[in-house]
Structure 1
Amino acid sequence: MMSYPTQVKITVPNGNHWNQKTGLFINNEFVPSSTGETIEVEDPGTGNSICSVYLADKEDIDKAVAAAKEAFDKAWTPLSGKQRGDILYKLAELFRENSSHLADLEALESGKTKNNNAIGDVLHSADVYQYYAGLAVTAKDGKTIETDPSKLTYTITEPYGVCAAVIAWNFPCSTFAWKVAPCLAAGNTIVVKTSELTPLSALYTCELFKEAGLPAGCLNVTCGSGKTAGAALTEHLDVMKVSFTGSTAVGRQIQVGASTNLKACTLECGGKSPLVVYDDADLEQAVKWAALGIFFNKGEICTASSRIYVQDNIYDQFISKYAKHVEENYIQGSQFTEGVNVGPQVSAAQKQRVMNYIQSGIDEGARLVLGGKTPESLSSSKGHYIAPTIFADCNQKMKIVQEEIFGPVVTISKFHTDEEAIKLSNDCVYGLAAYVFTKDIKRSQNYIRAVQSGQVWVNITFAADFRVPFGGYKMSGVGRELGEAGMAAFQQTKAVHINLSGHL
């Protein structure tokens, strides 16, 4: 069995360098996996290896869960809500102090541009930790309920115990924060499985949690495949709650695994979000927001505005302005190059997946307006680049309209009536987000009420807020994250009935 270090030196293209932890984080220590198996983490911008990290198997998951269980009983439960909140608040401060370094890490491993993307994800994560630091103070509050003069009836809010989180690769810092912050604030302990593609920012976050004073075992972080580490974690009988962000297909598997002991599940799965542009919209603004909604983060966004529906009398005008805006403003290249705002896809496999969808769109008769290939300026690069791609004249039967592509590909179709816009928006198995552009408040309210979506944005795109519940309808998932609902997802309610009279 080969032995690898649990720390390596990393240097990024902007010259910054540091010693990166590469072990599993169990009981506040970075340790090798039980098998010694590792996986290469790749820079999507170059195709080169960054470093190797250890992969967990069932034995490692058992150790992590045992550490979390002991910490819940002996270290975390005895603390007050304020004490837990103080640790999360300290973590938020450390996140801000180390934001540039964390943004380097996230850009390096995920391919998102550092200065206009990764840094925003890091600072948003700091806000999440600070928000739940405040909520931790009242985490166990219940309420009294008036029922009968002879009874005292009230509720107690309690944590589940050991929880699990399986996180995605597209927003490594924030998906980690969305789960870990409310979980700890509610009084639980947690075991996290990161994506094999983007484990580095999570491992660095573990160092910050240690510095913030988190007791050993309260947070444990592993990296491993879904079939081994993921299955072992979601099926573990000592895990009482699982929170997942990722594809709908994997979300289904997690629900099956969670059935071993009827774990509570929060599943934030795929999306294929419609964006409707009515003829009374501010067209210039609609064009800008619609482009941001799909090409930010190179289309690797679950809420991406990937299906655009434009009212027929402004359809051609919209396409012309939209293509021109994208071509002039969405510059692709290395995630560390100044002026670039579209980085590479996260992996070679993801690039090929997106390219397969692009070919499908061409084969099914959609009109390719822009993109569809690697930009010529990057053709010699080993990075995983796909130019922002626009398809027009699409119909509802096309794969590119119905299936989540998770890349910089958008479809544009036309509609005539308000009723048709709503029907087209709902003609999909997903229901994570929807966007509508109009100056008519009645029209927007009609759309909001009728669209089957967990959230709706009017005259804006990509504006999730840590104070507001986030989640989907239909195949986009179960439950909510963020806001008070995000912490409630990590809590269970106990009802208490006291007979004050003592008589039957």
Structure 2
Amino acid sequence: MSNSHYIGGHWVEGEGADIISVYDPSLGQPFAELRAASTRQVDQAVAAARKALPEWKTSEPGERAYYLRGFADGLGRRRDALIELQMRNNGKPRHEAEVDIDDAVATFAYYADLADGLADQQNRAVSLAAAGFSSHSRLEAIGVVGLIVPWNFPLVTSAWKIAPALAAGCTVVLKPSEVTPLIEQTYGEIADELDLPAGVLNVVGGKADIGSALSAHRGLDKLSFTGSNAVGSRVMHSAAEHCRPVTLELGGKSAIIVFDDCNVDEAVEWIMAGICWNAGQMCSATSRLLIQNGIADALLPRLAEAMIRLSVGNPLNEEVDMGPLSSEAQWRKVGEYLSIGRNEHLKCLAGGTLEVGQGWFVAPTLYVDVPTESRLWVEEIFGPVLCVRRFDSEAEAISLANDSRFGLVATIASADLQRAQRVAEAMEVGHVWINSIQAVFVETSWGGNKGSGIGRELGPWGLAAYQAVKHVTRCLG
């Protein structure tokens, strides 16, 4: 239990009561442990960030870009080690872990470029209809921000928040998930290497009490949270008590719509990627398959076969396509939904049971003709469980897809690109893919509508989330 929290430019040992065990989900066994931070250390981290804020927010944007490129380079130099850690602690197959690390590197590089252009956006004149006045606008750092990130995409989700926050001139207190507390420590290591000013970046780990202490802290100017709707609701309550802005990236129950003019092999590829990537532990998982009647009888047997043939196992085996669920708690939660499926007598074409033995594995599961009132159709499962309904018309597909309290993403599969575009425009979501796997690019926005959250990350929208707009108006008389 070495020093594992980074506060005010120093590594310190946790002072909390909890000992956090870090597990290899492929084995169901711990391989490391650390002592959680205390609420007093949360206070210290926020105080360090407040102390660092005045100098950091007024630093030259080019200087901030220098540090961001340093983070990109530092992650790149550690690429092999970080990939191994993602595989061991998250259970990700190597090809998925590689995408994660490369995504984090690209995020810091992208926001370094945006930071370089910030000076040109300052003091822009605003045209006024009234005579006798002049006005100009400024974009300034919103202040000290708390960042709470989940366990399903560690390092990636934190990069999506840290990079734009630092680019904007904010100082940061990051709280990683207790399931994956090790990989985000990399940011503190790189900060040390770069001589990042003390307090600009702070990392404090722990369980729910540390997240609650951070989200409720009166020393924050903004909070950004990615995680479940249940916790997101509590985070929003904390933000409301202080009347401060919050970004929430929450759950999803997304649809993939397959029209009958689609190529069956391509459709199977897109469906599988949407539900089996990261063992289905994605807020963006397209876990509701809407399939047009004309292609259903040809596609469903092929899809079931693909699920049955998918290689599930320890990611150290290079032949593995899908690893385990990342925690025992998530494994048990998915098992509860599979029990619901059996109790509701849902027709199961693949999977449907937990893999009992070493590690937290579950086979990809395919339920067909699932009633719209079933909990499996309505609720986010966060595992490789796909529910299917058929449709006849385009209008019916749109209605079924939008009939959800979530609104994160959707995928449209059709050879008719005009129809695909028309349906994409009708989706009540934040991101739509057409004839594609879920390719996420740092230049595009990320976030959802309805119960899937508030605000956007990535792209220029991610930077704007950490900027305050100020206008300066003077009388010319």
- Shorter-chain TM-score: what band? over 0.9
Look up the SS of the partner of 1:260 in the other structure. Answer: helix
For residue 95 of structure 1, what is the aligned residue in structure 2? 75
Summarize deviations over 1:35-88 as a string: whole Å, max 9, x none. 4642111111111112112212321110000011111124x1342000000111
The alpha-carbon distance between structure 1 residues 348 and 81, as it changes in their structure 2 partners (threshold 3 A), is same
Determine helix, strand or coil for the equivalent of 1:201: coil
Change (3 A) 1:231 1:36: closer
Q: Distance in 2 between matches of 1:297 and 1:105?
A: 15
Cα RMSD, aligned residues only: 1.3
Alignment of 1:136-151 (within 5 A): 136-139=115-118, 141-142=121-122, 143-147=124-128, 148-151=130-133
Q: Distance in 2 between matches of 1:394 and 1:79?
A: 56
Q: Give SS of 1:200's match.
A: coil
Task: Verify the 8 A CA contact 1:80 1:137 in the aligned structure 2.
Answer: no
Letter in 1 for 2:2: P
Task: Tell whether the 8 Å contact from 1:84 to 1:184 is kept in structure 2 after alignment.
Answer: yes
Whole-angstrom distance in 1 between the partners of 2:347 and 2:74 = 49
Alignment deviations for residues 372-415 of structure 1 (CA, whole Å, 9 cap, x no partner): 2245xxx542x101011111121211111110000011111101
The alignment partner of 1:244 has SS state of strand
**1:169 matched residue in structure 2:** 151
2:181 corresponds to 1:189: no
Which amino acid in 2 is paired with 1:479? G
Q: Which residue number corresponds to residue 435 of structure 2?
A: 459
Q: Find the counterpart in structure 1 of residue 180 from structure 2.
A: 198
Aligned AA (1:129):
F
Selected match of 1:120 from 99, 104, 110: 99
From 75, 84, 88, the equivalent of 1:108 is 88
Q: Which amino acid aligns with 2:375?
A: K
Distance between the aligned counterparts of 1:374 and 1:273, measured in 2? Answer: 23
The alignment status of 1:368 with 2:348, answered yes or no, reads yes
Q: Which of 315, 326, 337 is equivalent to 1:346?
A: 326
**Residue from 438, 462, 480 that aligns with 2:456:** 480
Alpha-carbon separation, structure 2, partners of 1:213 and 1:62: 23
Structure-2 separation of matches of 1:192 and 1:112: 23
Counterpart for residue 66 of structure 2: 86
Aligned pair 1:131/2:107, yes or no?
no
Matches of 1:411 and 1:36, distance apart in 2: 42
Measured after TM superposition, the shift of residue 301 of structure 1 is: 0.8
Letter in 2 for 1:212: L
The 8 Å contact of residues 132 and 181 in structure 1, kept in 2 or not, is answered as yes
For 1:280 and 1:309, the matched residues in 2 are separated by 14
Whether the 8 Å contact between 2:15 and 2:35 is mirrored in structure 1 is no
Question: Which stretch shifts more, 158-167 or 90-99?
Answer: 90-99
Cα pair 2:57 2:168 within 8 Å, conserved: no
Provide the TM-score with structure 1 as the length reference: 0.92
Match of 1:301 in 2: 282
Between the aligned partners of 2:451 and 2:76, the Cα distance in structure 1 is 35
2:57 is the alignment partner of 1:77: yes
| Secondary structure class of the residue paired with 2:147 | strand
Report what 2:405 is aligned to.
Answer: 429
Deviation at 1:438, TM superposition (A): 0.6
The amino acid of 1:152's aligned partner reads S
Report the 3-state secondary structure (helix = DSSP H, G, I; strand = E; otherwise coil) of the residue aligned with 2:471.
Answer: strand
The residue aligned with 1:393 is: 369
Q: Which blocks of at least 5 consecutive residues in structure 2 are unaligned? A: none
Quick one: which amino acid aligns to residue 163 of structure 2?
Answer: A
| Residue number in structure 2 paired with 1:60 | 41
Partner of 1:15: none
Structure-1 separation of matches of 2:180 and 2:469? 35
SS at structure 1 position matched to 2:204: strand
Confirm or deny: 8 A CA contact 1:235 1:259 kept in the other structure.
no
Secondary structure of 2:125's aligned partner: coil
SS of aligned partner of 1:315: helix
Deviations 1:102-136, CA, capped at 9 Å, x for gaps: 111122111112x2111110011000000001111
Overall identity of the aligned pairs, in %: 35
Question: Could you say what secondary structure the match of 2:387 adopts?
Answer: strand
